[in-house]
Every structure is written in structure tokens, then in C-alpha cells.
Amino acid sequence: RYGGEEFAVLLPGTDRVGAGAMAERIRVAVEAMGLTHDAAQRGLVTVSVGAAAIMPPIGFVGPAAFIEAADAALYDAKRAGRNTVRIASAVRPVSDLDPSLDDFGPGVPSLDRGA
């Protein structure tokens, strides 16, 4: 449990495609449980999932930037109607803020939230 109604799943060595596949498996599994919830849009418990992935050669991303990207993707999923998955396509590395912090330098695209 990460906080409130939020959970975090860490998948070392998993790229964006793998993270998206796992997120979708979790979403489908929760929906398939058929847990009733009077306040839910469809009367059932569902989950919205936001995920972020970073794989070499992008470089080191601080934990705060990584969590921020996943959180932004989560809120995109909620705005999209809930019970859906959104994956951050890129996370800005620390080097975008200060090129001296790693060998990769600036130029990695900023967070592009989308399916």
C-alpha cells in the first residue's frame, strides 16, 4: 500500500510494454472479482492504473520524478473514465535538469502521457 487507496508495484527489468501488460492483467483480475460497490460507476469495484517505465539508455531518474510520472498516468486513467490503464511513455531523467548529473545529457522527451 503506497497511500490511501493507492498501491505500488515494482517490476525490475520491465519495459513499458511489460508494465502495460501487467497493469492490464491486474485491472482485468480486479474487475473479474465482481465485488459490488454502491458508489462505483458500474456498481463494481474496478481499478485505474497509471504506470511508468524507464529502461537504458535513458539514464538515472530520481524516485520523485518516477513516482510523479506514474501518478500523472494514474490521474489520466481516472479522467479517461476509470477502469483503464495509462502508461507514461517517457520519464525525464535527472540529466534534463542538469546535464552534468549523468553521461546521457539532455534531450530525452518529457512525459508524454497516453495509452
Sheet holding 113-114, edge to edge: 49-52, 85-88, 113-114
Split into its structural domains, the chain has a count of 1
Residue 3: inside a domain: no
Residue 2: inside a domain: no
Query: Among all residues, which ones are annotated catalytic?
Result: 5
Domain that holds residue 61: 16-114
Residue 7: inside a domain: no
Q: Are 48 and 74 in contact (CB under 8 A)?
A: yes
Residue 9: inside a domain: no
pLDDT tens, residue by residue, 22-51: 999 999 999 999 999 888 777 899 999 999
Position 6 pLDDT exceeds 90: no
The pLDDT assigned to 85 comes to 93
